[in-house]
Amino acid sequence: MDVTLRVKRFDPEAAEPEPYWQDFTVNIEDNGTVLDALIKIREDIDGSFSLRCSCRSSICGSCAMRINGHAGLACKIQAPTAIVNGVITVEPAGNMPVVKDLVVDFDSFWDKIMEIEPYLKPEGPEPEAEYIASNESMLHLSGVTSCIMCGACVSDCTVMEVDPTFLGPAALAKAYRFTADPRDGDENGVSKDRLEELTKPSGMWDCTRCMECVTVCPKGVAPMDRIMALRDQAMAAGFTNTNGARHTEAFSESVEHSGWLDELRLVPKSVGITNLSALAGYAPIAIQALTHGKMPPIIHKKIEKAGNVRKLFDKIEGPKRH
């Protein structure tokens, strides 16, 4: 079958290096993948065309790139299913500098992985025998350890597009692999030092839960879910005096009490009522909301049947005194 690919290319050695689009039409097997088509371009049409690939079996992660606007493994995506309006649009992975054509620089990716110290850090005296991890805990971690470091989640992370300092979904999911390991941290498996580092700015609380990393992950690691679990671990370990933790508690308390969110009081409760400098930074947004008729009501009333919402909280967290 003939397949047309619209590829975003970049030649750093050009007189005026700028990204540009180029269309290629190649003939591949009916069950061929996007990677098969790209290799055809390199081998049969343009030997200067650059891409990364290795195993061709969704194991190594080398061929991660954006296909039709979303990250994925070119070796995993069948070409016939990727055709949109007659073409397959292929771009290099996002949020990383482009080296040439579809090849990107992974240095920042690996720097962030190393930043979370990707190894076990048991605390206390050395044990007299080997560390033993339960089968249950290892089965739980099997989903996280499926990560092949392809960078697809980083490519499509919306936070990293505006804040390159954000640790990112890959590094944070990797961090969870250790905080959830009973051999990491103290005798109870609590990694306080590690969790404290992850609660700092550009860490776990900067995720906006856009779900892109979950959508594009080719191995079902669900990085965003791991970041949410990290937040739970941090709060359980006592790290509640952060904007993110306060925001979570204020959000939950508001919805549990009234059945819906009290937006007017969410910001001061998140940043701290006495944090005047931080509150002043939100003044322009408040003024804009006021002038556009978007200011939340000053008196926050309960919705009808708010008790039904509270029952959901009781079901998840257990009955509490109200």
Render pLDDT for 245-301 as a digit per residue (tens, 0 to 9).
999 999 999 999 899 999 888 888 898 888 888 888 888 888 888 898 888 888 889
pLDDT of residue 293: 87
CATH fold, domain 2-102, is Ubiquitin-like (UB roll) (3.10.20)
| Residue 172 pLDDT exceeds 90 | yes
Average pLDDT over residues 161-190: 94
Percent of the chain with pLDDT over 90: 73
Residue 152 in 3-state DSSP? Answer: helix
Nearest to 160 by CA among 102, 88, 99, 104: 104
86: tokens are 């007659």
Q: What angle do CA 232, 234, 238 make, to 5 degrees?
A: 115
State the pLDDT confidence band at 319, using cuts at 50, 70 and 90: low
Domain pair 2-102 / 107-236, same fold: no
Average pLDDT, the chain: 93
How far apart CA 33 and CA 166 sit, in angstroms, is 33
Alpha helices in the chain (DSSP H): 34-40, 79-82, 107-115, 135-142, 152-155, 158-162, 169-179, 192-198, 212-216, 223-236, 243-258, 263-271, 276-281, 283-291, 306-317
Neighbouring CB atoms inside 10 A of 3's CB total 21
Nearest to 254 by CA among 246, 266, 240: 266
Nearest to 168 by CA among 224, 234, 97, 98: 224
The domain ranges of the chain are: 2-102, 107-236, 250-317
Compute and round to an integer the Cα radius of gyration of the chain.
Answer: 24
Per DSSP, 211 falls in state -
Residue type, 142: S
How far apart CA 38 and CA 101 sit, in angstroms, is 11
How far apart CA 50 and CA 46 sit, in angstroms, is 9
**Top mean-pLDDT range of 27-31, 129-133, 307-311:** 27-31
How far apart CA 90 and CA 63 sit, in angstroms, is 12
Alpha carbon dihedral 184, 187, 189, 195, in 10-degree steps, equals -70
pLDDT of residue 320: 58
Residue type, 92: P
pLDDT of residue 274: 84
Residue 5, beta-bridge partner list: 24, 88
317: tokens are 């967290």
pLDDT of residue 279: 86
Nearest to 11 by CA among 133, 103, 136: 103
CATH fold, domain 107-236, is Fumarate Reductase Iron-sulfur Protein; Chain B, domain 2 (1.10.1060)
Render pLDDT for 91-126 as a digit per residue (tens, 0 to 9).
999 999 999 999 999 999 999 999 999 999 988 887
State the pLDDT confidence band at 84, using cuts at 50, 70 and 90: very high
Per DSSP, 260 falls in state S
